[in-house]
Amino acid sequence: MQKEQIASLIEEIARMPEMRNVPREQIEATANEIANKDICLTPEEFKRAIKHRILPASAKSGMLWLSDLKPNMHSISVVGKILFVSEETLSVRDDKENVVEKKVLKGLISDNTKKLNFVIWNPDKYPNVVEKGKVLKFTNVYTTAWRDEPQINTSDKSEIEVADEDQLANRRYGTKIKIRDLASVNYPVTLEVRVLSVEKKEVTVDGKEKVLYSGVVGDDTGQVKFTAWFDFDLKENEVVRINGAYKKVWKDLPTIVIDEKTTVERLSDKTLPPAHELIKPVEVLIEDIYEYGASMSNVKLEGFIIEIKSGSGLIFRCPDCGLVLKEGTCKNHGLVTNGEPDMRIKAVFDDGTGAIIAVFPRNVCEKLLGKSISEYQALIGKSGITNPALIDINTNLLGKAIQVVGNVSTSELGTTLLVKDAQNVNTDMKIEAQKILSEMEA
């Protein structure tokens, strides 16, 4: 095999769900060892040989993370803890299409990456096995769709057996990824990061006092906030490898959680650039945002404001909930007569590789426009103007080159760039701006 083909096959193998907890170096070493034996193998045989050499027997049989499951998968195996189980009677059709009553076990299972529903259609086969709190291995099961999520089902060929608690804990050691990849994963991960800040807090959880450690870590692709419920003695500026962290989403941005099942290793300071470089905004393209999951912190982009959306300029917010008033009305509190003034820009921002909705808050608006909100309020009503800020936005910013720094978040409403800072780009780029506008009109 040619080196290029081997490299391509290594990429395919590394992306396989059952290989996500295998270090990339181990895959490459095994692939090169097999390739050097000069055995004539097809690409599929080559991949199977690598999997056979690396994976334990359980993984070879199709052991997957729950977060990897999709509807309509067959002959798979999973390990998880039973969170809930109950016996139910369902009305089903038998082989002769007659409606009969059938007893099943329904419940919820978790493997630290996701929680999924399961149905055991032949509970008599597993007496006293499927019980709350047990760690079980499901072999040769299949999935169906239930409320837009995969549901695990057993068949006559399935097996369920008690698994060692350690087998579940070991699955916390996830694939080594970069911070920019966090948005697109739902399984435990390994990160090599520099601690940019850390602080100790005392919080009350369920009426009990607990110690919480929080801060920010970074690598050469970005920064992310972390929460640790266990004291790993993290020090600011040290470089660490965090094994088994898992992602949570807070205000539409990924964060990482570190608990007692996570391990932390100290690394050489030379592993990553110094802190003063990592705290700088990461320069990205809009196409990168969508490629890496569309949620990123502290990014820098340069492009053009090509469209101003409604709801820009001077606005008024409900003093109780902060929602923007529409014609003096809050959708939560009805008619509001004492709305609080604010200013923002909602715009389409284009850098030539893609477009994204960008929201500029009041302080950034005032900086770009060179006027304060009070100055704009004083102009209301003069010459019949109701939104003087919007006039300046369209005149001074539409079609202009802007450099922005902010956070990108994704929710059910779409992907949004929340701008923290911005400045006009002095370079005359009118030709490029007109090119983007022309492409939109075409």
The per-residue pLDDT of the chain, averaged, comes to 85
The confidence score (pLDDT) of residue 60 equals 44
The confidence score (pLDDT) of residue 40 equals 63
pLDDT over threshold 70, residue 57: no
195 near 235, Cβ under 8 Å? yes
The confidence score (pLDDT) of residue 369 equals 95
Q: What are the residues whose beta carbons fall under 8 Å from the beta carbon of 125, sequence distance 6 or more?
A: 160
pLDDT over threshold 80, residue 1: no
Of the pLDDT bands very low, low, confident and very high (cuts 50, 70, 90), residue 59 is very low
E runs forming strands in 147-278 = 149-153, 159-162, 175-176, 189-205, 208-219, 222-228, 239-250, 253-258, 263-266
Q: What is the CA radius of gyration of the chain?
A: 27
Q: For residue 322, is it left (φ>0), alpha (ψ between -120 and 50) or beta?
A: left
9, containing H or E segment: helix 3-15
Give residue-wise pLDDT tens across range 260-305: 778 898 999 999 999 999 999 988 899 888 876 657 888 999 999 9
Task: Identify which of 358, 352, 336 has the alpha carbon closest to the alpha carbon of residue 409.
Answer: 358
pLDDT over threshold 70, residue 145: yes
Give residue-wise pLDDT tens across range 180-202: 888 767 667 889 999 999 999 98
Of the pLDDT bands very low, low, confident and very high (cuts 50, 70, 90), residue 319 is very high
302, containing H or E segment: strand 296-308
Average pLDDT over residues 128-141: 93
Average pLDDT over residues 306-321: 93
The confidence score (pLDDT) of residue 415 equals 85
Average pLDDT over residues 121-139: 93
Q: What is the dihedral of CA 401, 407, 412, 414, to 10 degrees?
A: 10
The confidence score (pLDDT) of residue 52 equals 67
Tokens 């715009």 locate to 347
401, containing H or E segment: strand 401-411
228 near 248, Cβ under 8 Å? no
Question: In 10 A of CB 433, how many CB atoms?
Answer: 19
Is the pTM higher than 0.75?
no
